[in-house]
Structure 1
Amino acid sequence: MWVAAAGLVLVVVVPFTFVILQAIFPELGRGSLAAPFSALAPTLSDPALLRLALNTVGLGIAVAVFSSLIAVPLALFRAWFLVPGAVVWDALMLVPFMIPPYIATLGWIMTLQPRGYLQQLTGFNLAAFLFSVPGMAFVMSLNCFPVVYFAMTRTLAAVGARYADVGRVFGASPWQAFWRITLPLSLPGLAASLLLVFAMAIEEYGTPAALGHRIGFTVLVTEIELRVSDWPVDLSGASIIALVLVLLSFSAFLVQRRLLSARNFQTVSGKPQAIVKRPLGLLAVPVLALFALVAFIAAGAPLLAILATALSRTISGGLAPDNLTLQNFTNIWEDGAGALKALSLSLSLGVATALVTGLLGAIASYIVVKTKVRGRFVLDMLTVIPNALPGVVVAVGLILAWNQPWLPITPYNTSLILLLAYCCILLPQPVRYTTAAFHQIADNLEAAARVAGASSAVAFRRILLPLILPNLVASMLFVFAVATRELVASLLVAPVGVHTVASFIWRQFEQGSVGLGMAMAFVAIILTALIPFLVLSALRRFAMRQDVL
């Protein structure tokens, strides 16, 4: 409890407290507590705020629905059937999550816009779909659906097909068995992943800014960025709108909690049983075609657009052979602009963030689900708050908290401030995944270990941790992927002269070197994809030895 509380105070409470203080005291940044609450009424009475909130909620729901429609069928086949090249497909499904949303969006714009890559190849474009609310939600879903895919794969594997088989024996059709038995038992993983997708969607800045601006569709996070970046800067108004985002995310959290309360989802009550996966049979070709189609649309098409741009001498030159060159990749290797240093820093921060959030997430979710200690609901609430805070607001909170002249020691203006920002933003990922896993583990396993003389730590390490390890590792891979490409926080809190991959790419775009920025993005995506692939392969071998999968 104390470890989790101390970690959450440092990572979540400190920046969030200063966001609240900034919302209350408009002059806080100047060291004054004058005129408290004076910004509250003007901000909340703005007639545009309701429209922004409705747009935000609608976009979040649309992205969650699209993500589940893409991910759940794939996860079902992956969990229950012998899919050829399953580990490769897992790695490919993780690639969309590793592509920075603003980079993927730019790739889709260059592909689908008039005279884009698609029109150059086929003679038509899909600009009308891309520059629409459904198109924007679909593009965001291609980045978010891996959250649902990996969560549901692990959850469906834990549930197994045996319960559905019993339903089939009693006359249920395959669809009825799935809808009435499998899906309700899988609700913890589905609800947790959809909560994360909703929170990711309502706080995503890059895609709504790039696509929504062209169709007049604005959301809360773009309004926050506008108030922070445009003169006159309105930190109090931005903080108040950020608190509205927190309320929206917290409402989704309460819905998830309501769905999971007063129900029993336990499917692991004794020694884990080996899951015998079934051959696909006649479904082999359609299933492989489905995996290939999703992988191409979500990963292949954006990567090809990024690569085409990285290989172009000029953007206006298009796909002509004489416009292709390796000069942008050569510039990265020569490291004239500090590209290799930025890549090394991002990879290091990604690993560190995954380890810290994985440890805190596992401990916090264990306390919330498996203990009766006082304050566990508050602990659970603190873990969901960061995902509702846009990166720009987290960065402002960290600056206000740690850039105080009276502090004897501060992480401000060091790389540690980046680690704090990433941990605050990404902590909900491991918490939601491991919470879903703990809900499926019966209490009698830990109780039996305690009767046999094991301490709480031993029971956790020897029994519970191996059972939640697939969910925990999957969430840590997501944390690593996001941390290596986090943009807004990197731009605001990175020390002077220090660049991450995201800030390096952004600076290249600002300077007009789009090809160099895309080359850096392509290299970073390929390198960060190798680590999850190796981890997933090792996890699969471990699971096979333990007879879990």
Structure 2
Amino acid sequence: MSAKDIGGVAPAAWLALSGLVVVVAVPFAAIVLQAIFPELGAGSFARPFSLLSQTLGDVRLLRMTGNTVLLGLCVVIASALLAIPLGVARALYRIPLAPVWDVLLLVPFMIPPYIATLGWIMTLQPRGYMEQLFGFNLTPVLFSLFGMTLVMTFNTFPVVYFAVSRTVEAIGLRYSDVGRVFGATPARAFWRITLPLSAPGLAASLLLVFAAAIEEYGTPAALGRRAGFEVLVTGIDTRVGDWPIDLPGAATLSLVLVIMSLAAFLLQRWILTRRSYQTVGGKPQNAEKRELGRLTIPVMLMFGIVAFLSTGVPMLAILGTALSGTISGGLAFDNLTLRHFADVFGNSAGALGALTNSLTLGLATAVLTGLIGVVAAYVVVKTRIRGRALIDIMTVLPNALPGIVVAVGLILAWNMPGLPFTPYNTGFILLLAYCCILLPQTARYATAAFLQIGDNLEAAARVAGASGAVAFRRILLPLVFPSLASAMLLVFALASRELVASIVVAPVGMQTISTFIWRQFEQGSVGLGMAMAFVTIILTTLLPLLFLMLLRRGGLVRE
């Protein structure tokens, strides 16, 4: 690359690096330094490592770490047991109403986990909807490891279901049919041929489920504490939020959680990149699927039960609570009311302010992560300047930083004494937290899009006299915009309802959608909280879809 070329891309590299330093490196470095230097918050580097061994040797830490791993493994096993049969059936057989089942099984992933958990509490608790309808409740089951596993599985199993269904569908039946020609039973052909061929995608999706389970805050906080089942996420929150505040302990626990998340992420990447079972035939796979035959009723029952439990129960509980005048009034026609929805749109308890704050932060997060992500991806893929490997690592690092860890890092970084300026206790601290958590979404989408674009287009523009900035703006950016826009819409939806960072670092007096719902439950205004939850699900699902449809009509995003 010539000196002129380097000079042309250097501003882009510095822009990407500066954004990544502020958004990613600063909170992560603050956690590491606080764990090493316990008096860092007072501006002192005295007594390094003095509390590290004490915290790591604490029996409570060992118990929380063990509980975290146990919960993650339980969710992985339950997700596999639930999703693999459904995914294989969807891939290999003609399933009646298959697109409808796909939508119904996607909805649980769109419901924020803490909202789904609140819906299950309203259903299974004493005097809950199950007891009102059937005369008994399942409180001991709900507030237990089994209950947490069940609730979290219904939220995460769609990741495995769609990975399995798409992977097995791509493999098809041709190879297993060859095995059956040579005498293998259908079960043996599946276990020895189809399953190994789909193993990389299956394993990667299960590792994503494990990472999501150990990072989840809402379900362990709502169910685990009552069951005496404390995990690392709730332990970190306790050390940050309860007096006496233990920042060194919170930082150490955060590092333990980061190591676990990073290990899962690295294992996932190794599985996806290692040499695995591959098909070498050049013939396209037969897309024909078999009829279910005698399996029709059992398979349809399986899809129906899972869809009802994962989508129907939480959504009906949310809507039923939102429409109930009082919780004690129960399921009765004379207890139905739209008052709670009217209160939301009447700004009761600051509901409209919370909506405005979350939607504004979601939009700002989408724009900022889109800008940093696309510039970082361009530097990594399309340039050969020094430091691009560091930029690539920093765009991946947030995958291993759970939301609670990011929140702790921001508190440590921006609450130091002597800072001339700090975003702490302002809305900007939430924006930084959301950007750090969600930056990989836009960066990875943009990277994949740039990898599909040859270098000849930019080279031709440069030969014609265009500067690097003009070539990027007029040629490359329009080509990657469809992928980038999809990622930004996903970021908007996720940022608008993010919980854990919002609870930990939200400024005094500022509410977001998630903190509003959480606090309404804590204060006993359950109907108002559920009305906000229902509005949130509708808005964060429909607004991105509507915007994407408008972009497609305008020709900015291809079908």
TM-score range, shorter chain: 0.7 to 0.9
1:484 to 473, 477, 496: 496
Q: Which deviates more, 358-367 or 255-264?
A: 358-367
Amino acid at match of 1:95: V
Q: Deviations over 1:392-444 (max 9, x none)?
A: 33123223334567666665555443232123223456778999x89xxxx9x
The alignment status of 1:242 with 2:251, answered yes or no, reads no
Name the structure 2 match of 1:397.
409
Aligned to 2:82: 70
Hey, what's the Cα distance between the residues in 2 that align with 1:155 and 1:226?
41
Q: Is the 8 A contact 1:97 1:481 kept in 2?
A: no
TM-score under structure 2 length normalisation: 0.79
Taking the TM superposition and a 5 Å limit, the aligned residue runs for 1:211-222 are: 211-222=223-234
Structure-1 separation of matches of 2:328 and 2:209: 36
Secondary structure of the 1:186 match is: helix
Q: Equivalents in 2 of 1:20, 1:290: separation in Å?
A: 47
Determine which structure has greater relative contact order: mean sequence separation of CA pairs < 8 Å that are 6+ residues apart, divided by chain length: 1
Structure 2 residue ranges without an equivalent (≥5): 1-11, 463-470
Query: Hey, what does 2:341 align to over in structure 1?
Result: 329
Contact 1:112–1:119 (CA under 8 A) maintained in structure 2: yes
1:189 maps to 201
State the 1:484 CA deviation. 2.4
Q: Which residue of 1 aligns with 2:289?
A: 278
Letter of the structure 2 residue corresponding to residue 201 of structure 1: A
Equivalent AA in structure 2 for residue 149 of structure 1: Y
CA change 1:392–1:377 in 2 (3 A) is same
Give the superposition deviation at 1:61: 1.1
Counterpart residue identity of residue 124, structure 1: F
SS of 1:290's equivalent?
helix
What aligned pairs does 1:466-505 form with structure 2 within 5 A after superposition? Answer: 479-505=491-517
CA distance in 2 between partners of 1:297 and 1:222 (Å): 26
Contact kept? 1:87, 1:537, Cα under 8 Å:
no
- Read off the aligned partner of 1:213 and give its amino acid letter: R
Following TM superposition, by how much is the alpha carbon of 1:137 offset from its aligned partner in structure 2, in angstroms?
Answer: 1.0
Letter in 1 for 2:521: F
Cα separation, 2, equivalents of 1:268 and 1:521: 49
Shift in alpha-carbon separation, 1:179–1:419, aligned structure 2, 3 A: farther
Measured in 2, the distance between the counterparts of 1:45 and 1:525 equals 42
Equivalent residue for 2:53? 41
**RMSD between aligned residues:** 4.5
- Answer yes or no: is 1:527 the counterpart of 2:539: yes
User: Per the alignment, do residues 6 and 80 of structure 1 end up closer, same or farther by CA in structure 2, a change over 3 Å counting?
Assistant: farther
Pick from 142, 158, 166: which aligns with 1:146? 158
Structure 1 pair 325/523, CA: closer, same or farther in 2 (3 Å)?
same
Contact 2:358/2:495 (CA < 8 Å) preserved in 1? yes
Q: In the TM superposition, what is the alpha-carbon distance from 1:52 to its structure 2 partner?
A: 1.5
Q: Structure 1's 349 and 99: CA in aligned 2 closer, same or farther, altered over 3 A? A: same
Contact 1:350-1:479 within 8 A present in 2 as well: yes
Matched, 1:231 2:264: no
- Taking structure 1 as reference, are residues 366 and 295 closer, same or farther at Cα in structure 2, changes over 3 Å only? farther
Equivalent position to 1:125, from 128, 137, 140: 137
Alignment check: 8 A CA contact 1:192 1:433 kept: no
SS in structure 2 of the partner of residue 315 of structure 1? coil
Distance (whole Å) between structure 1 residues aligned to residue 86 and residue 39 of structure 2:
51
Equivalence for 1:296: 308
Q: Percent identity?
A: 62
User: Aligned residue for 1:100?
Assistant: 112
**Counterpart position of 2:37:** 25
**Structure 2 CA distance for aligned equivalents of residues 280 and 41 of structure 1:** 61
Q: Secondary structure in 1 aligned to 2:408?
A: helix
* Partner Cα distance (2:29, 2:201) in 1: 30
Report deviation, 1:86. Answer: 4.6
Structure 1 equivalent of residue 7 of structure 2: none
Structure 1 residues 442-498: Cα deviation after superposition (integer angstroms, max 9, x where no partner): x9x888989x989998999899999xx6xx888767644432221221133334443
C-alpha separation between the residues in 2 aligned to 1:460 and 1:175? 49
TM-score, normalised to structure 1, is 0.80
Aligned residue pairs, count: 535
Asked if structure 1 preserves the Cα contact closer than 8 Å seen for 2:92 and 2:289, the reply is yes
**Residue 465 of structure 2 aligns with which residue?**
none
1:332–1:446 CA distance, 2 compared to 1 (3 A): closer
Quote the residue 2:529 is aligned against: 517
Moved more, 530-539 or 16-25: 530-539
> 3-state SS of the aligned residue for 1:338?
helix
User: In 2, Cα distance between the equivalents of 1:300 and 1:479?
Assistant: 25
Larger Rg: 2
Q: 317, 321, 330: which is aligned to 2:329?
A: 317
